[in-house]
Copies of this chain bind each other. A is one copy, B any other.
Amino acid sequence: MNEDFKEILKSHGLKVTNQRIVVLETLSRHKGEHLTPEEIYEIVKKEHPEIGLATIYRTIQLLCQLDLVEKVVLVDGIVRYEMVEKQKGKAHHHHHIVCLDCGNVESFEDDLLENLEDAISKKTGFEIVNHEVKFYGYCNKCKKKHIN
């Protein structure tokens, strides 16, 4: 999986640097979480204080372009990143559900909307290539607090 990454970099004519490996490994150790660039920086800094914030920004941008990492922007406007989990080399479609109280972001899978694209496409004349769904609500923990 680390070797795969090296291959991906090479096949794009990019250099295999320690910084890139460290950032990807960090995100890999935090699968399912949605981290801000600053948070990624703080985690990386513990083991590699020599890696600068600018490199974190450049690297996550690169990882996004390589489709290894996904950028997530919620209504709060805060930019977060999450590791793309691939199955058989293909990333599966997933969406986000956000707790309005604790801010926790969970992912869930969904194929229900694929056929909706056609309908919207006909209606609007757009050629649709992607879609994004976010649900906002209260998670199990916060739901209880919320009632009181």
Contact = CB atoms under 8 A, between A and B. Distances in A.
Interface of A: 71, 73-77, 79, 97, 99-100, 106, 108, 112-113, 116-117, 119-121, 123-140, 143, 146
When all copies of this chain in the complex are counted, the total is 2
Contacts of A140: 125-126
A129 B120 contact: no
Given A73-B74, A75-B132, 20 more contacts: A71-B75, A73-B77, A77-B77, A97-B124, A100-B129, A106-B126, A112-B119, A125-B139, A125-B140, A126-B135, A126-B137, A126-B138, A127-B143, A128-B135, A128-B137, A130-B135, A132-B135, A132-B136, A133-B133, A133-B134
8 contacts: A77-B77, A106-B126, A112-B116, A126-B139, A127-B143, A128-B136, A130-B136, A132-B134
4 A-B pairs closest in CB distance: A128-B137, A126-B137, A130-B136, A125-B140
B136 A131 contact: yes
Nearest to A138: B127
Which of A119, A129, A133, A143 neighbours the largest number of chain B CB atoms within 10 Å of its CB?
Answer: A133
